[in-house]
Amino acid sequence: MNDQGFNRIIWSARRAGRALDVAKEQQLRHLEMHAAHYSLLAAASAHLGATGAELARELHVTPQNVASLANRLEQRGLIERRPNPRHLNVVEIWITDKGEELLAEADAAMIELERTIARVLGVDEAEKLRKLLEELADGLEHENRGFRAS
């Protein structure tokens, strides 16, 4: 494959990623939620009591980005911030019951999007794509070990 072919893989992946981002936003619209809010809620649910910095590392975004997203989720009563009992300057993020309920609805919307992907590609091809994407991510992470994107 020539250099031009490699470039097309990157651009095709970018195009697919953009289409997926749009589809996620559409699936979540009825919940008045953006994909970034969904990601933070899911991370807060999976990592109970994590700090904003920990969630930022998990989501590959800046702590400032998490703080901004958390403000919106806190205003909606979906998360709450609590001081760490041992380190009072450290604030933990906890998902509320209301947040868990909305997260369950958002998860259902994402499952429906996965079903759409399976309809578009076919079940076997969708599974092949999932495996290829995992293999690509693992391979690139291995190739780039020691390099940390900000």
Return the pLDDT at 148: 57
- Model pTM greater than 0.95? no
How far, in Å, CA of 34 to CA of 18, rounded? 14
Tally helices (H) and strands (E) across the chain.
Answer: 6, 3
Q: What is the mean pLDDT of each run of 10 residues along the chain (150 residues)?
A: 67 94 97 96 97 95 95 97 88 97 98 97 97 94 72
Residue of 28, 38, 16 whose CA lies nearest to 129: 16
Return the pLDDT at 6: 60
How far, in Å, CA of 122 to CA of 66, rounded? 36
Residue of 113, 106, 112 whose CA lies nearest to 76: 106
HSE (side-chain half, CA atoms, 13 Å) at 53: 3
Q: How far is CA 58 from CA 51, 72, 128, in A?
A: 11, 19, 26
CB 44 within 8 A of CB 56: no
First vs last C-alpha separation in the chain: 31
Return the pLDDT at 147: 64
